Structure formats: structure tokens, C-alpha cells
Amino acid sequence: MKIPAALLGLFFGFLALAPAQESDSAKVLAEVTRDLGGYKSLEHIYEPKDGAEFQVKAWLSDGVLRRIKASQQGDGGVLTRDFYYNAEGELKYAHASLADEAKDGKPASSVEEKFDFQNGVLVQYIGPDKKPVAKEDKNFAGMESALTAMSDDLVERIEGSTAYAGVMGEADGPKAPAGTVFGVGYSDGTFAGTEQGDYLHLDLKQADGSIETYFVLKPDAPLEQLLKDGDAAKGTKIRVHWTEKMQDIPEAGEATRMKLCDRIEMLQ
């Protein structure tokens, strides 16, 4: 998939916050990072107008989105934008990166940029050379426009999604009702095998070496083939299309939050 040049331009550089602005955005970044484990989370697929699909993970507290991380696999590597918001939902900080793994004798590479926002306005941006980009530079205004537009669009779409409705309906006490959807998406990795319990469990090894496990209610044809091939199939590149939801489990007599494998797609 080709990534438009205008999009690639949004994923380079590094930011050093000016002392005058540090307290506000740095405080939000530190707060969200510190409390992230206690936030509710959801996953979502984002398709901007150019059709380049992003995998999105979002975290919220008291119904307010505090962080949204959107990643996209492109020819140049994995493009990521990471937005941070204060308790009122105002964008304060953004981080963007382009990371490419080592391949064909070429070493792994990673470049990044960070942005500081105040009152909805970009106040500092450091370019690929790790130096501040002047506000008079046309790229400064372009970055401000592109980032705020994507942030606004992401927030609007997430808050209107079934995943958001599911998370908001998840009370601290009683469980969410059966059928509540918390997220829909897909994950790429390599087939790491299966385990059989009350249900079949599919293991997916991801790029960082971690294993993600999905419940399989009914294997589709590609998975049936992997099961037939046994150990020889391990290491096969696949895409798991999944839904995270409250699934009714007759054997348990109650609904349980599960990440279900809807289908798999062979990538090689």
C-alpha cells in the first residue's frame, strides 16, 4: 500500500518542549502515562478519507478520551500517531513516528516527532533535524491543520462507535450485558499454534514477540487448513479479524468478555 507523500510528512522528527510550555503538556503526558493502566480501553478501525486504514487503540477516563494511538502499516514501515488529552478532552500533546524493521541487510530504523498544543493551537514543532520549525514555515501550519483534523475526526468516530458505547456501558459493579461490543479490528502476526479447552484458542505471535490469544467458536477454512498442517504451519503469516465482546457462555451460565476470532486471512 502506497502512503501519500503528504501523509508521510507527518511522521518525522523530534520535539524538545520549551520551558514556557513544558508544565502544561508535560503534565498531561505524565498523568496519562502514569494512570493508563486504570483507564478503560477500546480498539477501533479508522479509515480516513484517503482510504489508508489505521488500527486504533484508545483509552478513556470518566467518559473522556485521554489517549488515542493510531497505527498504519505502509511501504515505509509502521506509521503511528499518538494523541494525548487533558481531563476536559483538549488535545495537549501529540507524538508521531515511522519505524521500519531490519530486512534485506538494511538495519532497523525509527524517526519521530512530537508536538505541543495549547488552547487547540500548535505552539511548538521540531523537524527531522531535531531543530524547531519556525511558525512562519508553511510546514508548521500544515502540521497543525493535519493533526488537529485527524484528532477531531478520530474523537468523533470513536465516540460514535459501538466499541465506545460498550465501554461506557461497562459498570464497575454489574457486568455489561451479553452482546456488548468493546472493539472490532484485526491483528497481524504469525501462527503460533492452538490450544483446546472448552473452546479452541488461537495463538498469534506478534512482532514484539508477545502472544495474543483469541477464542474460536467455529474455525473457518483457512484455520482448518492450519490445524490440518499442524506444527508445520507454525510461523505462517496471518491476519486475525476479531471482535471483543461479552459472549454468552452456556457452560458457565453467564456472559464473559472475550476476544473472538471471526476469521483469519493468510498473508503469505
Q: Where are the domains of the chain?
A: 5-162, 181-266
pLDDT tops 60 at residue 22: no
Q: Is 206 left (phi over 0), alpha (psi -120 to 50) or beta?
A: beta
Q: Which residue has the higher pLDDT, 112 or 203?
A: 203
Q: Whole-angstrom Cα distance, residue 24 to residue 6?
A: 29
- What is the reported pLDDT for 252? 66
The amino acid at 127: G
pLDDT at 51 > cutoff 80: no
Has residue 4 got a pLDDT over 50?
no
Identify the residue with better confidence: 219 or 246. 219
pLDDT band per the 50, 70, 90 thresholds, residue 254: confident
Strands 109-118 and 200-205: unpaired
Say if CB 168 and CB 63 are below 8 A apart: yes
> Mean pLDDT of all residues in the chain?
82
User: For the residues 218-242, what does the mean pLDDT come to?
Assistant: 92
With a cut of 80, say whether residue 86 has pLDDT above it: yes
**Cα torsion angle, 77, 54, 151, 9, sign:** positive
Confidence category of residue 16, pLDDT binned at 50, 70, 90: very low
Cell of 160: 460514535
Using the Cα atoms of residue 192, residue 193, residue 195 and residue 201 in order, give the sign of their dihedral: positive
Residue 129 in this model has a pLDDT that exceeds 90:
no
Query: Is 100 a residue whose pLDDT tops 90?
Result: no
Instruction: From residue 132, give the alpha-carbon distance in Å to each of 15, 82, 136, 139.
Output: 8, 20, 11, 11
Mean pLDDT of 60-73: 91
Q: So what's the pLDDT on residue 98?
A: 86
One CATH from 3.40.630.30, 2.40.50.140, 3.30.70.580, 3.40.50.300 for 181-266: 2.40.50.140
Window from 87-96, 162-171, 188-197 with minimum mean pLDDT: 162-171
> Mean per-residue pLDDT for 125-134?
82
176-180, 234-238, 261-265: segment of lowest average pLDDT: 176-180
The mean per-residue pLDDT over the stretch 84-108 comes to 85
Angle, CA 84 vertex, CA 33 and CA 212 arms, to 5°: 60
Contact by Cβ (8 Å): 181, 243: yes
Distance CA(93)–CA(27), nearest Å, equals 10
Residue range 127-153: mean pLDDT, rounded: 89
* Cα first-last separation, the chain: 16
Q: Which residue has the higher pLDDT, 44 or 68?
A: 68
Average pLDDT of the segment spanning 246-250: 82
Say which residue, 164 or 60, is predicted with more confidence.
60
158, 185 in Cβ contact below 8 A?
A: no
Q: Comparing C-alpha atoms, which of 40, 37, 42, 36 is closest to residue 243? A: 42
C-alpha cell at 148: 488537529
AA letter at 201: H
Q: Give mean pLDDT, residues 40-48.
A: 81
264 or 180, greater pLDDT = 264
Cell of 222: 483457512
**Predicted pLDDT of residue 250:** 77
Q: Does 6 score more than 50 pLDDT?
A: no
- Mean pLDDT of all residues in 148-152: 94
Closest CA to 260 of 147, 160, 181, 156: 181
Q: Which residues of 73-110 are buried (b: 16+ CB within 10 A; e: fewer)?
A: ebebbbbbbbbbbbeeeebbbbbbbbbbeeeeeeeeee
